[in-house]
Structure formats: structure tokens, C-alpha cells
Structure 1
Amino acid sequence: MKVLVSPTPEAAARLAAEHLARAAASAIAERGNFSVALSGGSTPKLMYQALRGLDIDWTHVHVYFSDERSVGPDSLDSNYLSAKTELLDHVGVPAGQVHRIQGERDPVQAAADYAALLPAQLDLVLLGMGDDGHTASLFPGTEGLQAGGRVVANWVPRLETWRLSFTFAEINAARERWLLVTGASKAGVLREVHNGIDGLQGHPVAGVHDAVWYLDTAAAAQLTL
């Protein structure tokens, strides 16, 4: 694990945003565009707000999503809507370069269609981690943990709903993977992941390889760095 610890959630989000701006500039200079997959949750909102004030050539950015709930784009539960209101409405990404997952459709077909429109390789996948160790919509004990391909329709029994999610194969195929994790409620799981306890089934985030972890002090409290 490459771990970067900041004193507060806001500071961790700001550091990730600054690094994303640098990654975007480098990718655009080298390849002409920057492809990034965003995630849901509360901590990414802090990063989205920080990104709004940074100098990024958004006209050369393509935005994707690492997962989505089985809802439409206007639902308050939609990861797309969160990114739209907190970031995309405030920056100049052309509408045709924002690629949402169509969570309102049949999940199996929506997963297949999203896999088909992804680029050959994403530059960056941004992820979070739940208190149960899930990342994207790959939850403990679900079939999606073992899924092949690029995008999976993952049934989550404890939530009684479908989720659409990147597979681990897709996440790990990106040029970079970053995890933004904050809060004391995450500290125990982070310690176990760091120490290799419980593995993929217990803590799905363990399936993300060679990631950069952006943590606040509370989340990192039980790590020995």
C-alpha cells in the first residue's frame, strides 16, 4: 500500500484533487486526453469541490463511473447525480464526454453496454471504501467478487438490490487506482487490509492492487506506517 495521510478529510480530498490535476495534465500532454472513473460516497464530494478550483483542461477529460445504483440519473441515490451537482455542472467537460451508467435499465444489459463503451484502458479509477470493506459496488459475499469481464451486474442480498460495478479486472487494468478513505469508522478495516487479514471475501477492497491510498488521520489511526 502506498499511503498518504492528511490531517482532515478536507485535506485528504484536496491532496487527491491536486494530484488528479497533475495526472490529467500529464495524460493530456502524452495522449491527448484523460479518462477518469469517478465513485460515489460522501468523501468524493469533498474532492469534487476541491477540483472545481483547479486549473484542468476539462475539454480533454472523459468522465466514467466505477459503479452505480439501480436508479435513474435524477435520483438522489445516483452516483452520477452526485458528481454532476458537485463537479460536472461547475467545470467544462463536454456533455458527450460524460459517460454515465444507465442504472434505470435492465442491470445485465446495462452492464454489458457500459463495458462496450469503455476505452481500452482508463487512466485513473477513483474509489472509496465502505465500513464493511466494499469498494465500487463489490460487496462482501457477492458473486461480483469473482466476476470476469469489465462491468458486472452484482446482486447485493443484504441491500436487496442490483448494483452495477467495475470488476476487479477492470479496476486493476487502469493505469492508476486511488482510494480516498476517511473517518474513524474505517480504521479497523484498513488495519486488517494492510495486514492481509480476511482477504478478498472478508474485505473486497483487498482485491484492488497497487493502489494509492489517500487517508485522513482518523482512518489511518490503526496503521503502522
Structure 2
Amino acid sequence: MAGSNVEAVVNIVTEAVRTGRLAPGTRLVEADYTQGLGYSRSTVREAFQRLISSGLLAFERHRGVSVCKLTRKQATDVYCVRATLEGLATRLATPYAQENPERFVQLQARLDEAVAAADLSLFSKLNTEFHSQIALAADNDYLLQAIKRFETSIYWLQFRVLVGQNAVFTTNDDHQLIVKAMISGDQIGAEAAMVQHILKAGDLVQALDDDYFQVSH
């Protein structure tokens, strides 16, 4: 039960960050989760520690725990590494996609419908599913763990881009290229398309106002 409670707090905080209810730099108060939600102090502390380890939260002396706020360089570095990891995942997943094209074709059709309806919320959800499906199809547990680590650390950036800029819909062109290459068995082309897709998302993040980034020292 204790383990499931820790996981519950982790999920609550993660979802709050992902959806923007906890903004970058926001301080987390332990009592909000013990008194407000009824979890024990040890459960909340362990959950916070997990999220600090994952990169979603940060700890500072005299300030406590807060939602991580990246510098512009850190954001660039994250997207550079993420592009490499997801590019590799796409290459490894291509043989599976070639043998099971319907899963990816159907998901792409749903993405296309979300764009046509200008539904940012649905597009965001399907975009996450798109990347998760490819990472799972790569069938490499170590790679999957690494991808999830970077995905968690930039939840707030992804949310801000998706709700603030319709330009994100242009990234669906990349999805189409990726799926086309994967189901045709073009591993190199699929990998290259994914790398460019992630780097494009990074460019959108860099277009955000300075307020969303930590000041470099």
C-alpha cells in the first residue's frame, strides 16, 4: 500500500506539471499533500525524492522543493539528447512497424483528425501516445527508461508549447514522414525524420519568453 501511495503522489504532481497547474519554479508545500490529500509525510517525501531524481522537481537549500526550471542551454541540451535517443528508438522500431503497420497508420489518422479539428488538447495526448508507441516498439528497456527520463524533465515546456502556439500543428507533417518511412522499412530515413522532429520541437521551446527559463549564472 505504501508503494502505491508513493506512486499516487508521483502521478498527481506529474500530471499537475504536465497540464500547467504547477508552473516552473513553483514551490511544493508538503502539507498540501499530507493534510490536503491525506498522505503520510514519509510517503510525500519519498514521492518528491523520486521526482527530484527524475528531473521534474528540484531541491534548493532554504527554499525546499520546487518545479524544475531549465536554462535555455539546458533545454537545448535536453532536446539534443532526446533527439538522439528517440531517433535510435525509431530505427529499432521500424521492423516492427513494417510488420504491424495498422497500429501506426491508425494513430496517424487520429493525429490528422486532431489537427483538422484544431484540437490542441487531443493532439497533445495523441502526440504523447505516438512517441510512447514507438519507444515501446523499439523493445529495449534501457532505451525506454532513458527516453522517459528526458520526457519527464520537460513536461512543462511541452505543455506551454502545445497550448500557446498553433505552430505545433506543423509538427504533424513530421509524424507523417516518420510513419511513412517506418512502414516502408526505411530505418535510416525514419531515424532522420524523428531527429528533425524532436529538434523542431526544441526550436519551438526556444521561441518561448525568457520568463519560462532559469537565468544562467
TM-score (norm 1): 0.28
Comparing both structures, which one devotes a greater share of its residues to strand?
Answer: 1
In terms of Rg, which structure is larger? 2
